[in-house]
Each structure stands twice: as structure tokens, then as C-alpha cells.
Structure 1
Amino acid sequence: MEPIDSYYYILFYFSVFFALLAIAYKFIFLFNARKLTNREKGLKNRFPIPNLIIYTIASVLLISSLVFGYLALFQTKANEAELSESQNSVDILFLVDVSLSMNATDVASSRLKRVQDILIRIAPELSGNRVGLLVFAGGAFSFCPMTSDISAFSDYVNALGVDMVGRKGTDLSKSIGKANEILSSGKVLKNRIAVIISDGEDHETLVYPKIEAAVQVWGIGTQEGGTIYFGDENSKSSGFVTKSGGLTTDEKSEDVIISTIDETRLKTLAEDNSGEYYNISYESLGAYRLLDKIADMKKNQIVLLQKIRKEEGASVFLILSVLFLFSERFLRFFYFAKRILLLVFLLSFGYSSDLSAWELDPGGNRVEEGVKLFEEKKFQESDAKFKEAEPYFSDDSRLKFNQADSDFQLGKYKDAIEKNNAVIEDPKIGKETKAKALYNNGNAYFKLKDLKSAQKFYEETLSVNPDHEGAKKNLELLHKKQNSPNQKSSENQSDQTKKRNLSPSEKKENPQQSKNKETEKENADRMMENFSPDSILRKKSNEGGNRDNDKFW
């Protein structure tokens, strides 16, 4: 095993030291927390303290994971190996014209963009060969050195632009001279191709040196020509290049330069070097002929040597490190209560002996007390507790629902209806709660003897919750009450009694009227048996789950 350098030793020991320090610090907090919760019984249920034995095991697992992680990094065997790979390839050098005329728009979207599209398209087919880029305008330089990395070559192609060469104009002679300099160097092998891509505009020379490679010339542009569009990101100016050297937005101005292709020059260049000429403005024949030429050429055989460093033995330490870390996380997730973090925060800043008098959740406590009082049928006190909770949950419709139930039990039917309406109109309230609020409004209107409104709210309850049994039964009782013969007979009897001028002794209720009133009371009692106004106030805190989410239920 290779020794760890002194620097890594120091780093390792410091990491373990700080981890142990943090664990010890947490142990002190847990010890104080246990003392506090044992003394303040009200906090014990809110802040369950984890088992110290389990916490100790989790801490040991964490330290073990850290140790094995360091061993995986530094205490492993390292071997160096040398790999050789034989490869047959052709060297291809692209000479790309990036003069201003390559921005002419007679080829969509510009001449240079057309060249970029073709090179990117054939790049995957060049895999296995070495490629390079030489750019030229008034001067020339090697932009992409010879490489077998086709992905890198594509990035260089995408970066081509007409402002790359500082010297303006077009000098084919200089580009060929620079190409010969590259091709004659030891970096380029014997079997090679030079591809010249230009519109042929050359204002410098008429005679060109021979190219020391197989040659293809790709012309780009049209005989009719096109305007040259140029945009400068720095000056934020753009327009069409004029003969006076400026820019104009008027493409049809007489001063605008019209750039045309000089195919005669390009064809002569190809013939002088026993090469081929293709116009790639609207077809890609030249590109495909290049691929055929590469396939037919004799290949250069090269041997690639690659040194690699192999690390052995790390996998065992790494697996153990991950295993210990996972075990530690598992223990903490299931046994370390989240609320202990809040208690740790309190302990960090100290606490007084009257800590139990300070409420961590006063609003939730008032709601819980109100629910308990409601269940004990102390509706006046319950309503008071809900009012105390209003500042904490002013926008929560569930609190309004609870208050509406208290108002109903206190006989404040109109107040109950108003609060239930607020619950019904809340877009965030669930369907179940909305159905309960509609049903309770129906009961409130029934108490107010507004049977038409009661029927309406029962029907709306069923539209939200078609399976609401209470609304179904109450609607059925309402229909029976409205259509019963006794009700009609009672109404007729009442009309006849009003027409007669009865003596005081005759104003007593007859047996039929008493019977009708008793029937009406029985129906009302049966309806109110279905009323469960506090179904939303059921206390679930003993059923588990998040206390804050259940405080209203």
C-alpha cells in the first residue's frame, strides 16, 4: 500500500477530530434536552428524545464511513499501464475563406453559414481521420490543429466568423503558403488532402504556389452576387457594407457592394494543382466526392500510445463507506425526531425555569382547546377559544367552519350561515369540507323555518357530494312534510278558524292541531338527528401524523 503524504494525514486527522467534536456537542445537547423534558412534562410529548444507544451507534457508523472514504481515496494500489493503438487515417486540412465577402447573402443564409453547415454535416463521416482548419482573409493562421477528435473539430467549425482575421481583404497566396508550411511539418503525414473553400475574390495576387497535397476547391457564391450583411456586437451597429466602407440599412442603395464568385480563378487554381472544383452553393456534391476520395486514398498508419493509471483496491473501501453511511442515515431518519432540532435551538441560546409557560404554538393550542370544549358541549367557551385563535389563522376557512358550528349550537343561526358561506366561497377548501358547510347551512335555514332555502342547500350538498346520507334523508323528510295531507288539512283548518269569530273558550287548540304540531316536531327532530355539525372537528391528534396539519380536525 502506498503511504499517505503528511498533508493528507493532517487533513484526515482534522476531519475525524471535528466529526468527533460535533458528535460530542450533540451528546451534550441531548443530555440537557432529556433533563429538560423530564422536568417539564408538557414538553416531553412535543420533543421526543432519541435513544442515546441508537444515537451512539449512528455516530460510530458515521465515523466509520468517513474513515473508509479516506481509505478509498488514498490507501489504494496505483499501477501505470501503457496502451498502444494502431490507426489508419488520412490528414485533411480545410482552408476556409473568412473575408467579409463570405457574409454575402446570395447563398442562404450567408456563404460562411453554408460552409459551416456542410462541414458539420460531414464531420461524423471523417471519424478515424485527422482534420484541421486554416482560416484566411488578408492574412492566414492555423485555427484548429490537426486532430482526430471530431467533436473538437466541430466546435472549431461552429466558431468560424468573418471578423477572425484582423487584416481585411482576401489573399489566397498567403493562405496556400501557410498551408504548405503546415503540410511540410512533421505533424502532418504523407497521405493528405487540402480543401480550399472560397468565393474566389482575391485583390492581391494572380499567381499561386503549388499545394503539397491532393487538392479540392469548393466555390461558394453566385454569378449574380449578393449584398454583404455585417453586424458589430460591440458597437451595436449593423447593415449592408457600402463601397465607402460604411454600413447602410438600405439594401438597394447604389453605394452597396455586390459580391460575386470568381469561378474562373477557382477553377484555374484547381487545374494548376491537378485537383477538382465543385460549387457547393446549392448542392453538396463536392463534400461527398471528398468522402469518396478519402475512402480511395492510401491510409497513413499511426500508432497511438496512451498511458493510464489504474487504481486498485478502492472498491472495497468505497462499498464499506457507502454501506456505513446508508446505515447511519437510516437510523437517524427513523429514530431521530425532527422536533428535537427546535429544542436544540432553544438550548443553544439558553432557557429559563419558566420555559413551560412559553407556548410554541399558541394559535394551534387555542384551536385544540376549542375542539375539546366543543366535544364537552361547552359551546360558549369553545366559541371564545376559536375567537382567540383568529389572529393566527385569519385566512384559514377551517377555523371559520369551526366557529360556524359553535354559533349553530348557540342558536346564532344567521352568524353560522355567514361563516359557512365564507367557507363555501373559499377556492382552496376541499370538496368534503364544502359539502359539510352546505349541509350545515341547510340545517341552519331549517331552524330559521326557511324550508325553501334549506332545500336549496341540501340539493347543493348533493351536487358536491352525491353520497351525503344526511342531505338525502333531510330532503326526503322535507318533501314528505310539504306534501303530507295532515299539513294541508292543518292549513285549511287554520284558514277556517281565522274566518270564524271564536270566543276565548273556543280559541284553544283542537286535537287535530295538536297532533299536527307533534308530527311537525317529530319530523324536525328526525332531521336534526342527521345533523353532525362537528364532523370536521373530530380530534385526530391521537391517531398520529403531523400535529399542525390535524389541529383543525
Structure 2
Amino acid sequence: MNFGRIEYLYVLVTVPLIAIIFYVQYILKEKFLKENGLKDVFKTYALDRRFFKKFFFLVSLTFLILSLASPRFGVALEKGERRGRDIFFLIDVSNSMNATDIKPSRLDATKQVIFNLLKKMNGDRVGVAVFAGSCQIICPLTDDYDAVSMFVDSIDTDMISKQGTNLGEAIEKVVKEGFPENDKGFRTIIVFSDGEDFGDSVESGVKVAKENNVIIFSVGIGSKEGAPIPVKDINGKVIGFKKDKDGKVVITKMNPETLVKIAKETDGEAFIVRSNLDIDPLIKNINKLQKKKFAEKGFVKLKDRYYYPLAVSVLFLIAFLVL
């Protein structure tokens, strides 16, 4: 189960706050009645009635908020033809992506670019993989862009303990394990990286991509001037900057050369993101790619079940009103 409008779940914090207000009111009223000798005047059933009335109100409010969050579970078959592409976001999570020459950081800028991309996609299946010294597929191909956004939002540079930037191995892993087998064409990898220190493995990854007709777009994140690499403590607080063996602060610079090369060799395009997060040129090039037909008879998606918590909310609201 997931929620179509997850931001409404934050409103649930108002429920315990209102409950605390009700409780404080009760304590103050009890104190007033006791100090003025009026406590025995009020019947017990009246107290019970007030308690349940407020309880019904809080339950009704809780389920109303859950309904607004649009819970989705179960599956529904959507009839009709759908066309799109299979696209994998391959995201560099090496420590250099914490550099802040692109605000607020290279990695955070990458996330914003991806969020903007997802808003303009329609019908494509999207997967997510991260890489540094090794590669991990964290989200398989799906047309649920909300789920993709949640996975992307959770990415940080601690996800892969093995540091380095083994792009070649990452491309090979996505081609062989991320995309469906025997599905030539219609497949694209979008690499997000600062292009720094790819090592000697890139050629092998590009070769596998070309053999499987996978087009690679590359998005360079960073500046040529560069920036130091922050060193953080376990709480995420910056406590210094990475230094070399001579004690000098390391400056990481965006290197577009390899990113341009892998895009060119696979019939893709390379793009540079510095201060401008405009992704229209990238979208324009993606839209030129051929689309394939998905599920001629229909495709399955999570069903919106907002009406279940709404029904519960209405029932408790009625109980609140008639009590």
C-alpha cells in the first residue's frame, strides 16, 4: 500500500495536538469545579458523554486525513494501449557528490533534476540504480512515479560503502539485470555524475550497452572550478573537508569528457547542470526516442481506496453529531 498524496499524512500531527488541548481543558474544568464545590452537581454519564463525543471527533478527523492522503492498495486493470520507454536513472553516490559547488549539493541538485523529469514523463517505465565503487539497483522498472520519487529522495552517499566511481560496472549491471531480457531497443540509461575518476572500466560498460542497443544520456553535475568534499559525522554535520596524503584539502571538479564520450558512443546526448536546473533540452531529446507498446490488453496499477477511510470518517462524524 502507498499514498497518492503523502504530504497530507503530515496533517495527522494535529490529531494528538487536539487531544492534548481536550485533555488540558478537562483538567482546568475539573480544577474549577472542585475549587467551587460544583463537582458533585455534574452527573457521571455527562462526563462519559463528553469523553466519547470528543473521541468520535478525533477518530473522524484521523480517517478524514487518511482519505485525503489517497491510500492505494489492491490492483486494477486499466484497459487501453500504453506506449513508452524503459529508462533507468543511474546516480553517482560517491563522496564527491556532496560537494556544494551546485547548491545545495551535487546530489541534491541531481534529485531536483530527476523530480522535474518525472513531472514531464508520461507512459515511460522508470528504474533507479546508484553507484560508487559498486552498483545497486534500488527501484525496478515501474510506471509509479510517486514510488520512484520516494526512492530517489532516500538516496545519500552512505548507501554504498565501497567508494570509487565504477561507472562501467554500473552500466553493465543495469543493462543485464535492470532491463527485461530479450527486449532489444526502447531502453535508455540516464547517468547523473560529476564525471570524476571513472577508472578504466567505462569501456567495458559502454560495449555492453552498445551490444544491447541501450542508449546512454549523461548529465554532468558540478562546476569546472570545483569545491571541497565535506566530511560529516554520524549525525550528518560537516566537521571538515577531505584532505590528501599531504594534508591539503581536495578540490573535486566536474569532468565532462568521459560523460560526453559514453553518450556519443551510444547515440545519446550529454548535458551539463551547473546553476540552471532547466531539463527541457534533456526531455526534448528523450521524447525523440522510439516508444514501445506496453500491455495491449491493459496494465495493472494500484487502486485508489480513499473511500474506505472516508466512510469510516463519516460514520464517526454522525456518532459525534447525534451523541
Question: Whose Rg is larger?
Answer: 1
The equivalences for 1:52-91 within 5 A come to 84-91=79-86
Find the counterpart in structure 2 of residue 157 from structure 1: 152
CA distance in 1: counterparts of 2:140 and 2:184, whole angstroms: 13
Q: Which amino acid aligns with 1:104?
A: A
Q: 8 Å contact 1:84–1:306 — kept in the other structure?
A: no
Per-residue Cα deviation, 1:309-349 (whole angstroms, up to 9, x for no partner): 9xxxxxxxx9xxx6xx969985xx5xxxxxxxxxxxxxxxx
SS where residue 126 of structure 1 aligns? coil
Task: Quote how far apart the aligned CAs of 1:82 are.
Answer: 5.8
Q: 8 Å contact 2:230–2:238 — kept in the other structure?
A: no
SS where residue 199 of structure 2 aligns? coil
In structure 2, do the counterparts of structure 1 residues 297 and 141 end up closer, same or farther at CA, with 3 Å as the change threshold?
same
Point out the structure with the larger helix share.
1
Find the counterpart in structure 1 of residue 31 from structure 2: none
> What's the TM-score, normalizing by structure 2?
0.63
In structure 2, do the counterparts of structure 1 residues 83 and 187 end up closer, same or farther at CA, with 3 Å as the change threshold?
farther
SS where residue 120 of structure 2 aligns? helix
Q: 8 Å contact 1:91–1:188 — kept in the other structure?
A: no
Find the counterpart in structure 2 of residue 520 from structure 1: none
Q: 8 Å contact 1:94–1:133 — kept in the other structure?
A: yes
CA distance in 2: counterparts of 1:100 and 1:257, whole angstroms: 12
Find the counterpart in structure 2 of residue 255 from structure 1: 248
Q: Which amino acid aligns with 2:119?
A: P
Task: Quote how far apart the aligned CAs of 1:152 are.
Answer: 1.1
CA distance in 2: counterparts of 1:222 and 1:308, whole angstroms: 41
Task: Quote how far apart the aligned CAs of 1:308 are.
Answer: 9.9
Per-residue Cα deviation, 1:228-286 (whole angstroms, up to 9, x for no partner): 11323259662211114xxxxxxxx961111112222222222222221111122345x
Q: Which amino acid aligns with 1:123?
A: L
Q: Which amino acid aligns with 1:174?
A: E
Find the counterpart in structure 1 of residue 199 from structure 2: 204
In structure 2, do the counterparts of structure 1 residues 143 and 183 end up closer, same or farther at CA, with 3 Å as the change threshold?
closer
- Count of residues in Structure 1 that have an aligned counterpart in Structure 2: 238
CA distance in 2: counterparts of 1:124 and 1:268, whole angstroms: 28
Q: Which amino acid aligns with 1:300?
A: K
In structure 2, do the counterparts of structure 1 residues 189 and 157 end up closer, same or farther at CA, with 3 Å as the change threshold?
farther
CA distance in 1: counterparts of 2:221 and 2:302, whole angstroms: 45
Find the counterpart in structure 1 of residue 282 from structure 2: 290
Q: 8 Å contact 1:127–1:150 — kept in the other structure?
A: no
Which one of the candidate residues 268, 273, 281 is aligned to 1:275?
268
Q: Are 1:217 and 2:212 an aligned pair?
A: no
In structure 2, do the counterparts of structure 1 residues 283 and 188 end up closer, same or farther at CA, with 3 Å as the change threshold?
farther
CA distance in 2: counterparts of 1:328 and 1:268, whole angstroms: 67
CA distance in 1: counterparts of 2:247 and 2:142, whole angstroms: 46
Per-residue Cα deviation, 1:187-219 (whole angstroms, up to 9, x for no partner): 977412211111112253163433231221111
Q: 8 Å contact 2:86–2:179 — kept in the other structure?
A: no
Q: 8 Å contact 1:135–1:142 — kept in the other structure?
A: yes
Unpaired runs of 5+ residues, structure 1, are 1-45, 51-79, 245-252, 310-317, 334-553
The equivalences for 1:108-257 within 5 A come to 108-182=103-177, 184-186=179-181, 190-202=185-197, 204-205=199-200, 207-208=203-204, 209-210=206-207, 211=209, 212-234=213-235, 238-244=239-245, 255-257=248-250
The equivalences for 1:357-372 within 5 A come to none
CA distance in 1: counterparts of 2:133 and 2:321, whole angstroms: 66
In structure 2, do the counterparts of structure 1 residues 100 and 187 end up closer, same or farther at CA, with 3 Å as the change threshold?
farther
CA distance in 2: counterparts of 1:118 and 1:204, whole angstroms: 26
Task: Quote how far apart the aligned CAs of 1:91 are.
Answer: 1.4
In structure 2, do the counterparts of structure 1 residues 275 and 190 end up closer, same or farther at CA, with 3 Å as the change threshold?
closer
In structure 2, do the counterparts of structure 1 residues 185 and 108 end up closer, same or farther at CA, with 3 Å as the change threshold?
same
In structure 2, do the counterparts of structure 1 residues 165 and 326 end up closer, same or farther at CA, with 3 Å as the change threshold?
closer
Q: 8 Å contact 2:127–2:178 — kept in the other structure?
A: no
CA distance in 2: counterparts of 1:307 and 1:226, whole angstroms: 44
CA distance in 1: counterparts of 2:104 and 2:142, whole angstroms: 29
Find the counterpart in structure 2 of residue 103 from structure 1: 98
CA distance in 1: counterparts of 2:164 and 2:302, whole angstroms: 48
Q: 8 Å contact 2:141–2:178 — kept in the other structure?
A: no
SS where residue 167 of structure 1 aligns? coil
CA distance in 2: counterparts of 1:125 and 1:86, whole angstroms: 19
Point out the structure with the larger strand share.
2
Q: 8 Å contact 1:182–1:188 — kept in the other structure?
A: no
CA distance in 2: counterparts of 1:82 and 1:225, whole angstroms: 50
> What's the TM-score, normalizing by structure 1?
0.38
The equivalences for 1:335-346 within 5 A come to none
SS where residue 219 of structure 1 aligns? strand
Over 4 Å off, 4+ runs: 80-83, 234-237, 305-309, 325-330
In structure 2, do the counterparts of structure 1 residues 265 and 152 end up closer, same or farther at CA, with 3 Å as the change threshold?
same
Greater RCO (Cα-Cα under 8 Å, separation 6 or more): 2
Task: Quote how far apart the aligned CAs of 1:153 are.
Answer: 1.0
CA distance in 2: counterparts of 1:198 and 1:264, whole angstroms: 12
The equivalences for 1:337-416 within 5 A come to none
Q: Which amino acid aligns with 2:239?
A: S
CA distance in 1: counterparts of 2:290 and 2:183, whole angstroms: 15
Per-residue Cα deviation, 1:361-396 (whole angstroms, up to 9, x for no partner): xxxxxxxxxxxxxxxxxxxxxxxxxxxxxxxxxxxx
- Identity of matched residues, %: 29
Q: 8 Å contact 1:146–1:188 — kept in the other structure?
A: no
CA distance in 1: counterparts of 2:195 and 2:237, whole angstroms: 30
